[in-house]
Amino acid sequence: MLITAEEEISALDQYGVGVDALLDDVTERFDAIAKIPFDDAVRSVLFWHLVDTYPDESRCRHLALALVGGEEEQVALWELVEEDSFDEDIAFELMLKRASLSEQEAFLFERETGYHVWKRAIEGCQDQE
């Protein structure tokens, strides 16, 4: 339902309707789902549903990141976001979980990553201290 709501909000936006409050509401609901402590089996089913059904939806990718479990799930999500500049933050979060420091540095220096990715890189360094 949230994905449908987001699509409809996008259509309203194209017609010049102010949608900021509606988008904020959808974002809050996605964030609330991400914070639910699912048992591992349910979490995995939801993760794979998002990845298989909505592979191009950025909000679904962010929710999948919150739900990602083991190596197989990390690889599946990585394959969706690896080359997508709109979801470079997800790609970098996955790198913090599974890539070496040199691979993380290559990601940062070989791409035109945004401020939010650099900020997260700094936070990642602070987390390791």
**pTM listed for this prediction:** 0.72
What does the pLDDT average to over 28-54?
A: 89
For 42-95, how does the pLDDT look when each residue is reduced to its tens digit (9 = 90+)?
999 999 998 998 888 888 888 899 999 999 999 999 999 988 878 888 888 888
Greater pLDDT, 10 or 68: 68
Q: Give the pLDDT band (50/70/90) at residue 117.
A: confident
What number of helices (H) and strands (E) belong to the chain? 8, 0
Q: What is the domain partition of the chain in residue ranges?
A: 36-128
